[in-house]
A and B are shown apart, each in its own frame.
Chain A
Amino acid sequence: MSARASLRLPWVEKYRPRRLADMVGNASAIREIVAWLKSWEKGIPEKRALLIYGPPGVGKTTLVHVLAREFGYELIEMNASDLRRAEDIRRIARAADIGSLFGSRGRIIFFDEVDGMSGTEDRGGLAEIMEVIKETRIPIILAANDPWDPRFRPLRDLCKMVRMDRPRPSDIVKLLRRICLAEGIKADPAALRVIAENAEGDIRSAINDLEAIAEGRKVITVDDVRHLAKRNRQHDAFATLKMLFSARRCDQAKAILSQSLLDYDMLLQWIHENLPYQYKDPEELAKAYEALSKADMYFGRIVKTQNWGLLSYALEMMTAGVAMARKRPYRFVKYQFPQRILLMAKTKEVRRLREEICRRIASKCHVSRKCANAEVLPFLRVIFEGNPKMAAGIAKWLDLSEDMIRFIVGDRRKAKEIVKYMRK
């Protein structure tokens, strides 16, 4: 049994995309890349090289492999594990026959992780890549996490740049659902949502988490993923929060932004969750929340006006503003995973029921669902609790199910009584 288990392919490998259709997220980036590759069929395009960039784990390398397979190219690849001196680059270029007018169709050169090229060991490598790009008659693709280092500027000018982003949690959920289906696992959608949110766009880590949780289980519930939420990114979040709350200068506080894997939105949630644990003094707490409130306002304005110039203010309020609220020495605190994310997942069913009740009220009472919830439902509750006969008539009129009636009165026995009157 254990021997077989050890032979089993990890899910990350087992479910690695084989076709373009399997790719998760980044639809428009993929379209752009495919269009560029197809343009080679009509001759040499203006930009002979393509630079794909974006954070780790979004599928840059996978995409290149899938493209090669799908369009029938042979892939000649160099990554950070290869020595990439000028002569190594030249050797690869010769092998790929980049200058040939006839013979080399059907090949792609792929330089992965170019921002990982070392100045000393890979001496001259970058300059040679640029030479190769200028000469090439076959497509060249490069991938990088961060192409904005000044030394890449000339390279950027030569390349068509395409950005790949972290896929949205909803995209990752789709993938996880597919895997569960293939593995015969019944998973609560809310649990998959937690895994996806927790992975923050890193598909690899989402699949790994799912596999770890599914070990020895055929059913996955929200309770099963609760521990996970504490485990994974937590380490990074802990370190980030400690760094933030112990910062004594603004620049120290701001530095967390470049060191954390958490995206801004998630970081905001972590800070929000943990402010009251860190700041016990009401004055510190109020001051820190004032800064967070300002940060949120800037974020809101950015979303509404697309004025990204405001981003630095939002980030400063979120980091330096929060850190400078501290008056006393830093003390160690056990930080918590943002509870709201877990709460939302847990209460999904109840929220759906409420939404459905409000929809029915809205359709009868000429109000919006929001107004039904705030202005009508509270009075219904009073009536349902106090007068089952009147409640029965209204329930009939609104076509409410027994579940809905129980939700409104919050009591099984009273709900039964109302249903009894409805039958009369």
Chain B
Amino acid sequence: MYSWKAQVIVMSEILWTEKYRPRKLDEIIDQEEVVARLKQFVRERNIPHLLFAGPPGTGKTTAALCLAYELYGDRWRDNVLELNASDERGIQTIRARVKEYARTVALGEVPFKLIILDEADNMTSDAQQALRRIMELYTATARFCLIANYPSKIIEPIQSRCAFFRFQPLKKEHVIERLRYIAQQEGVEVTEDGLEAIWEVSEGDMRRAINTLQAAAALGRVDADAVYRVVGRAKPKEVAEMLALALKGNFLEARRKLRELMINYGLSGVDIIKQVHREIMSPRSALKIPEDVKVELADLAGEIEFRMVEGADDEIQLSAFLAKLALIGRRLYKG
């Protein structure tokens, strides 16, 4: 019935996150309440504006796509516009592309088009204001599905125009079940501790879990060892090196690593501080930070992330963090 089936057969090696992305609402795990309400909309062939909120990798985008497939069937490509607001967050895109798309009439039996705006919480407030007007003006021809990690960053007037769907964190046994299914389909050998390890490192994020599985499978048997090896290789080694250098008091070298991360790896300040946080708190970290100091550092990392959101220059904020680390390091290693 859907064109995607042909795709799956032809493309044997694609990213498994896409290959095994559910195509039907019923295949989505752990969001029973959301799915039940969405299916009701499909039956009625009518939907309000939607706002999907929840942690990453819990099925928000997938649910939006499934809704589109089930509403429009084979004609979904003609009736769905998918935009990622992080990439096109300005008012120009909203005005030009969204408005242009929203004002034209839908093709097929469903009288409206669907506009999926992913990562909508990254839209500038100007763009959100423009969007609000468009939502009002073109309700007859277009419905919006906004997707966000942090719904509080969506302006109140938009929130109040949307039916709100909260996506729950996924349950461990369901994630593991899904991973096992994929491994079976792909003929990959997995061990129990391997699956446990994936669950642990992916923090409930299905995308990260499947990516980890595929990368580990690319190297051979998927056991805990392989999973930790993948995680070790997937994250830039410069993060741990930078922290070690700073703690040893070599600030200049630590800052050089920071610049490598920002410029060579193209990571944002928030990306980096999140990885730093993970490294600090990881029980397997080679840094061997005393437990009470871990808490102190996590607090510092939180403060710096907050300042980056408030501030203007990530490199200066992270350098300030490294300077504090050097000070703490002296205290640690002096005695």
Mark A residues whose CB is within 8 Å of B: 268, 272, 275-276, 282-283, 285-286, 288-290, 292-293, 296-297, 299-301, 303, 339-340, 343-344, 347, 350-351, 354-355, 358, 362, 364-371, 373-376, 378-379, 381-383, 385-387, 389-394, 396-397
Between A and B, 17 residue pairs with Cβ closer than 8 Å are A268-B313, A282-B329, A289-B320, A292-B316, A299-B311, A343-B263, A350-B264, A355-B266, A365-B17, A366-B118, A370-B87, A371-B119, A374-B267, A375-B208, A382-B219, A390-B218, A394-B15
Residues of A within 8 A of B310 (CB): 297, 300-301
Per-position binary interface string of chain B over residues 130-150, scored 1 when its CB falls under 8 Å from any chain A CB and 0 otherwise: 000000000000000000000
- A296-B327 contact given A343-B259, A365-B18, A390-B13, CB 8 Å threshold: no
A347 to B310, CA, bound (A): 27
Binding site secondary structure of chain B: helix
Query: Which 6 pairs show the lowest CB-CB distances between chains A and B?
Result: A393-B13, A368-B86, A387-B218, A293-B320, A300-B311, A378-B234
- Which residues 213-237 in B have Cβ within 8 Å of A in the complex? 214-215, 218-219, 230, 233-236
Residue in A290, A297, A351, A376 with the greatest tally of chain B CB atoms within 10 Å: A297
User: How many Å lie between the Cα of A297 and that of B304 in the bound state?
Assistant: 10
Instruction: Specify which chain B residues have a CB less than 8 angstroms from the CB of A364 in the assembled complex.
Output: 14-15, 18
The complex places the Cα of A300 from the Cα of B15 at a distance, in Å, of 39
A303 to B319, CA, bound (A): 21
A271 → B minimal CB distance (Å): 9
B84 at the A/B interface (Cβ < 8 Å)?
Answer: yes
B residues contacting A by CB (< 8 A) are 11-15, 17-18, 61, 65, 82, 84-87, 118-119, 122, 207-208, 211-212, 214-215, 218-219, 230, 233-236, 249, 251-252, 255, 259, 263-268, 271, 304, 307, 310-313, 315-317, 319-320, 323-324, 326-327, 329-330
Partner of A368, one of B84, B313, B326: B84
Q: Which residues of B have CB within 8 Å of A301?
A: 310
Q: Are A362 and B87 in contact (CB under 8 A)?
A: yes
CB-CB nearest in chain A for B207: A375
Which one of B207, B263, B264, B326 lies within 8 Å of A282 (CB-CB)? B326
What A residues does B313 contact at CB under 8 A?
Answer: 268, 272, 296, 299-300
Chain B residues with CB under 8 A of A392: 13
Cα distance A147–B327 when bound, in Å?
47
Contact B230–A382 (Cβ < 8 Å): yes
A394 to B316, CA, bound (A): 37
A276 touches B86 (CB 8 A): no
The smallest beta-carbon distance between B212 and chain A, in angstroms, is 7
CA distance A292 to B315 in the complex (A): 11
Instruction: Find out whether the CB atom of A373 lies under 8 angstroms from the CB atom of B266.
Output: yes
Closest Cβ neighbor of B88 among chain A residues: A368
Q: How far is the CA of A381 from the CA of B237 in the complex (A)?
A: 13
Residue of B17, B122, B218, B304 touching A382 (CB-CB under 8 A): B218
CB of B14 within 8 A of CB of A272, answer no
Q: Which residues of A contact B11 (CB under 8 A)?
A: 393, 397
* CB of B46 to closest CB in A, whole Å: 25
> CB < 8 Å: which of A282, A297, A391 contacts B330?
A282
A397–B211 alpha-carbon span in the complex (Å): 16
Q: Known contacts being A339-B259, A375-B207, is A293 close to B17, with CB within 8 Å?
A: no
- Chain A residues positioned under 8 Å from B249 (CB to CB): 282
A296 touching B266 by the CB < 8 A rule? no
CB nearest to B13 among chain A residues: A393
| Nearest CB in chain B to that of A386: its residue | B219
Inter-chain contacts of A285 with B (CB < 8 A): 251, 323, 326-327
The answer for the CA separation of A286 and B310 in the assembled complex, in Å, is 20
List the A side residues contacting B320 at CB < 8 Å. Answer: 286, 289-290, 292-293
A286–B317 CB distance below 8 A: no
Q: How near does chain A come to B231, taking the closest CB pair, in angstroms?
A: 9
Asked whether A374 lies within 8 Å of B326 as measured between CB atoms, the reply is no
| CB pair B263 A293 closer than 8 Å | no
Inter-chain contact B87/A296, CB cutoff 8 Å? no
Given contacts A382-B218, A382-B234, contact A296 B324 (CB under 8 A): no
* Shortest distance between the CB of B69 and any CB in chain A (Å): 13
Interfacial chain A residues near B255, Cβ < 8 Å: 276
Cross-chain contact of A365 among B15, B304, B330 (Cβ < 8 A): B15
CB neighbours (8 Å) of A275 from chain B are: 319, 323
Give chain A nearest CB distance to B290 CB in angstroms: 18
**Cα separation A74 to B208 with both chains bound (whole Å):** 72
- When chains A and B are docked, how far (Å) is the Cα of A389 from the Cα of B220? 13
Q: Are the CB atoms of A376 and B211 closer together than 8 Å? A: yes
Complex contact A383–B119 (CB within 8 A): no
Q: A355-B266, A394-B13 are in contact. Are A272 and B316 (CB under 8 A)?
A: yes
